[in-house]
Structure 1
């Protein structure tokens, strides 16, 4: 608004959404659709958060994209699956709300933004053998989108943590094929398709994006079309409370602290605390580091701290969306396919395997910590052992098959190379006899196709990123062709999963179970509906979208 020719910002809205990721944008779009005057605030100078940095997977069973692909399942079976893997740590009504409302929420995003989604074929649930699990998968991903549709806002889009050439769009479905290099025809064919697509779209003047960036471009277009204001560089410092009800937010804006009033409610969607060293040291197991996360830089726990300050209960603060990561000089590389491909193992500093390397990534790090505590053996770092055959065949941390490891990786000790196993063990300071014995045992399992120690390759999920040309188990391959490599592995994460405990309506709760009126939370600022587990690819973003949608509609349904 203007007064006397001077632009004056409003300081009162019906709804204020804190955070500009998938959950926050869904909440803002839904609140606007219900006729609520809505503001989105963002602590950084860009939008998208961890959603934009991610692969963009969304795990919402029975959504419209899955129905189109014929991948539907009764809600009762979906709930059975989630109940079985999550256990009693999360209330059933929250799980039920996610299952029952999720498809409606994703349909709403499609109908009210430029984001659209498609099934990721055969990307298995992470526990497909559990009751109600689905080996063909229930993950969907954003369709590629032209970034130019949002104009100058493109320079504010948070970039993916994996760097690809401009205009190069690799979907999750593509990545699986490309990771196998030349091992199947699908790998080179997919690469040719990706390069040709880049050429054609560039010639047509388009700037295409995929994965999480595509989702956030599409959602940002939705906000633009509806003229929903988004304020950058406006960090939350506190919550405004009147008579026990949250009535607004305290922010720093243009270097000045001010109160923004929210007549109907505040929705926190501002991420976890992965970049807050003090909170991580307080709540999580050692060793831990803010240097090992791929979460967005703005995720410093401000929303969680503000909620705790006014009496919100916190839960799951010791947990995260873990995954073994390589601490590269340029930043952590979150390992997906690398662990599942045959011809690799991960050992502790005694040279022993301690778990199924191809397990869901959250479980892989849980096992890393638990094994270290149980045995007293140092697992930090652990080491992935591979040989030259593996390097000749597969992509690794963004490098093509046969492509030499960068000298800086070798110089800084992230990658260690040796002509023999004995020399490799000496270089990484682990017992050579132990490592040799471990490899001999594992190589025997690879020949029989049965990992008798940890069951690697038994699950359909283990085999998703495996090599179909390796028999009898696509996740198990012999390691015996020098030179050999040891790759440093640490407990990385996609973000933390602990935060404000909420109910099935996304309302913040106190320790006694009472509701903090006016305060809602979704995404990683809230305690994950997935509990300590991870249902499938996109089980972070799916609930964030769903409970952002729920929160906005609960606010709209309340009497003003």
Structure 2
């Protein structure tokens, strides 16, 4: 990753098998996909049969499984990992679904027309209108179905704006919801197999995604202190009731799994997908490794692939995505290596959006990358490129920030890595990751090169290798914007979305404060992601399509194993999980109806 010059962007749409797939030696012979035979191994299958086989136990897979089971179909979920939940279990579990019953009951003035206008403006013509319409039409029904068929309940994330609230149909107060608190004891022994959270909640607290905004401000804002007290009170009450309180992605995954337990759907852990079984052009099952034995799991009605993206496949990222890229900057589940996408491609699937991901600025900390949300929006910080110059609205939607990093990255004007610059006043006021205000940052952050500290702006510039005069000029110019409250360069703070993670006590603009108090800090910023967003091309019924637009019978895809309905953009918090669950629901219903 030493070369900071981006390669030419791969085509958004990939037609036909890739070099990587061809080199694997897969072959279609006699109408049956014979990958194992082509590799010189005679398969020793132990056969089982279900109506529907679902690959992956994340939000897409478990929603699909619950739907199929409730439609009377005998269903099994196969999961490569020793845990269930995938990346969804690790996440904050925001869910973006316009017009769902939760937000309508809360009085959100949403309408189908508003949602359609907004999504069309966000996505553009990258994704067929029929798929957008299918998402909007089925999303509310999916949420209602999950509520009625699992212990999951949801809360409106009030105030968490759509990412482009000024677009037609945008909602400044937000459409996103998140799972309510759930008692993990509902799962019994199965709780031990829940994939852990990306950042565990502190012991004794019950924290929702919507709380983090205020927890970050707890040292300077009375509401922050009140929310902190409320989180502690929830934790205390749960302990007195003898509960194991779960929120965010832990609640979502556990609630879906509890629904599957009640519906009698088995989830086979430690069962990696080897290939799809194709007979006469139709997908009729999957080949997996089950208890050390190659097993053909036949699917009488269909296979739904919800196996996640390819963020941990170095080969696929190198083939499809711009440089510099790798597997060390993602927070997606480590098992997401594109197995389902590759199997679909071998079966003839076209691929879409393989160059893109659910990007976000990340700090490459020594233990794992840290995906920055509030940290780059709070007043008293700036993002600069390798020339020491600001290049973006720091408070913009996180995916947009990384797109700019890649689009502008050249050898003469490097933007990867970029640098988040803050002063001691910022550190005195705000939580940073999980480090409280005034407390020192871990030494390992500095020794690893993820963070730097210096007594002056010029000394800091020398440490991170940017021109000192340019960085000083950038800080001086930004400090002027903070005084007037108007960022004339990038308009930070003009949008309601920008202000969500801001500090309302800072005037005149809650997103802008001068950098003036030494020492100064710099944090390395790289293109992180929540997962990749490219995969098999699907239609409005979640059916997988060939290059010529024809349907591969028996094969469906949802979640990050399919090309995202959001295209290259990001409508609001939960634009990954909301569509994943929706198209899992759509796929299962289509199988049941066909």
Please name the residue that 2:158 is paired with: 121
SS of structure 2 residue aligned to 1:383: strand
Query: Is the CA contact 1:28–1:40 (under 8 Å) kept in the aligned structure 2?
Result: yes
CA distance in 1, matches of 2:252, 2:200: 17
Query: Is the CA contact 2:54–2:303 (under 8 Å) kept in the aligned structure 1?
Result: yes
Equivalent positions of 1:540-559 (< 5 A) are 540-558=576-594
Query: Is the CA contact 1:167–1:208 (under 8 Å) kept in the aligned structure 2?
Result: no
Please name the residue that 2:34 is paired with: none
1:361-383 Cα offsets, whole Å, 9 max, x none, are: 0001001111214x841222111
* Residue of 425, 430, 441 corresponding to 2:477: 441
Please name the residue that 2:194 is paired with: 157
Please name the residue that 2:21 is paired with: none
1:379-420 Cα offsets, whole Å, 9 max, x none, are: 221110000000000011111111110111112121101111
1:480-520 Cα offsets, whole Å, 9 max, x none, are: 11110001111000000000010000000011110000000
Matched, 1:518 2:537: no
Matched, 1:109 2:165: no
* Residue of 357, 371, 374 corresponding to 2:408: 371
Query: Is the CA contact 2:534–2:564 (under 8 Å) kept in the aligned structure 1?
Result: yes
Query: Is the CA contact 2:60–2:581 (under 8 Å) kept in the aligned structure 1?
Result: yes
Please name the residue that 2:39 is paired with: none
CA distance in 1, matches of 2:103, 2:330: 31
Matched, 1:35 2:72: yes
Please name the residue that 1:461 is paired with: 497
Query: Is the CA contact 1:181–1:400 (under 8 Å) kept in the aligned structure 2?
Result: no
SS of structure 1 residue aligned to 2:211: helix
Matched, 1:531 2:563: no
**Structure 2 spans left out of the alignment, 5+ residues:** 1-44
Please name the residue that 1:420 is paired with: 456
CA distance in 2, matches of 1:10, 1:118: 43
| Distance 1:243-1:105 versus aligned 2 partners, 3 A rule | same
Please name the residue that 1:3 is paired with: none
Equivalent positions of 1:30-69 (< 5 A) are 30-69=67-106
Matched, 1:316 2:357: no
SS of structure 1 residue aligned to 2:491: coil
Alpha-carbon offset, residue 9 of structure 1? 8.6
Query: Is the CA contact 1:24–1:270 (under 8 Å) kept in the aligned structure 2?
Result: yes
| Distance 1:417-1:177 versus aligned 2 partners, 3 A rule | same
Alpha-carbon offset, residue 10 of structure 1? 6.8
Query: Is the CA contact 2:103–2:177 (under 8 Å) kept in the aligned structure 1?
Result: yes
* Residue of 500, 503, 512 corresponding to 1:476: 512
CA distance in 2, matches of 1:55, 1:98: 21
Task: Kindly tell me the number of residue pairs found equivalent between the two proteins.
Answer: 550
Equivalent positions of 1:356-435 (< 5 A) are 356-373=393-410, 376-435=412-471
Please name the residue that 1:83 is paired with: 120
SS of structure 2 residue aligned to 1:88: coil
Alpha-carbon offset, residue 57 of structure 1? 0.5
Please name the residue that 2:342 is paired with: 305
Please name the residue that 1:243 is paired with: 280
CA distance in 2, matches of 1:278, 1:205: 47
Q: TM-score, normalised by structure 1?
A: 0.97
CA distance in 2, matches of 1:203, 1:9: 48
CA distance in 2, matches of 1:19, 1:72: 35
Structure 1 window deviating more from structure 2 (65-74 vs 522-531): it is 65-74
Matched, 1:224 2:284: no
Matched, 1:18 2:55: yes
CA distance in 2, matches of 1:468, 1:199: 29
CA distance in 1, matches of 2:381, 2:85: 34
Alpha-carbon offset, residue 227 of structure 1? 1.2
CA distance in 1, matches of 2:206, 2:335: 25
Q: Provide the aligned C-alpha RMSD in A.
A: 1.2
1:86-122 Cα offsets, whole Å, 9 max, x none, are: 1101000000010011000011011111111110011
Query: Is the CA contact 1:312–1:511 (under 8 Å) kept in the aligned structure 2?
Result: yes
CA distance in 2, matches of 1:87, 1:376: 32
CA distance in 1, matches of 2:332, 2:289: 23
CA distance in 2, matches of 1:40, 1:252: 13
Alpha-carbon offset, residue 246 of structure 1? 0.3
SS of structure 1 residue aligned to 2:414: coil
Equivalent positions of 1:94-105 (< 5 A) are 94-105=131-142
Query: Is the CA contact 1:181–1:401 (under 8 Å) kept in the aligned structure 2?
Result: no
